[in-house]
Amino acid sequence: MKRRDPLRLDRVIDADAQLSAWKARREREQALLRAIRRALPRPVAERVLVASGESATLELSTTAGAIASVVRQHAPDILAALERNGWQFSGIRIRVQPQSMPMSLAKNLPRQWDTAARRPLVALHGEIADGPLKRALGRLLKGR
């Protein structure tokens, strides 16, 4: 039996009409997002995503209202930059989609106090000169 070489993934995607359309849409949105991010300040640009670029109104999404308001202020600059790059949009709509918090946060475990944790403090207590720090460190070590 002759062994067949596996097909490359990009060939599989290009051969399927629906997958090929999804790939084209993703590439278009990535190019659009790069053009948008160049028109925004870097800290803001990192938090903006393209929700939909298929209609005449460009839809962007962010995770915070403050970011959305900065994007709204830069909307004319974004539209002008997009037009220079060949994109035609009549306006920009911005949606805020906050990220959900996990139901329960993991508790921080307190650091265990044992002889291994005590050794460096005992050594430090023996090295430092008499004074308020040495007395405070002595009280800490005595209590433990």
What is the pLDDT at residue 1?
A: 61
Question: CA torsion, points 55, 58, 62, 67, in degrees to nearest 10?
Answer: -160
Residue 17 belongs to what H/E stretch? helix 17-38
Residue 102 included in any domain: no
Residue 58 included in any domain: yes
Q: Could you say which DSSP state residue 130 is in?
A: S
Helix (H, G, I), strand (E, B) or coil at 62: strand
Q: What is the CATH number of the domain that holds 91?
A: 3.30.300.180
- Say if residue 75 is in the same domain as residue 127: no
What is the pLDDT at residue 127?
A: 92
Residue 77 included in any domain: yes
pTM for the model: 0.56
Per-residue pLDDT of the chain (144 residues; tens, 9 = 90+): 677 777 787 777 777 888 888 888 888 888 888 888 888 888 888 888 887 777 888 888 898 888 899 988 888 988 898 888 888 888 888 888 887 766 667 777 777 778 888 889 899 999 999 999 999 999 988 877
> What is the residue range of 142's domain?
113-144
- Say if residue 25 is in the same domain as residue 50: yes
Residue 103 included in any domain: no
- Say if residue 68 is in the same domain as residue 125: no
- Say if residue 31 is in the same domain as residue 90: yes
Domain tally, the chain: 2
Residue 109 phi, psi (nearest 5)? -80, 135
Q: What is the largest CA-CA distance in the chain?
A: 86
DSSP state string for 102-127: PSSPPPPPPPP--HHHHHHHHHHHHH
What is the pLDDT at residue 52?
A: 79
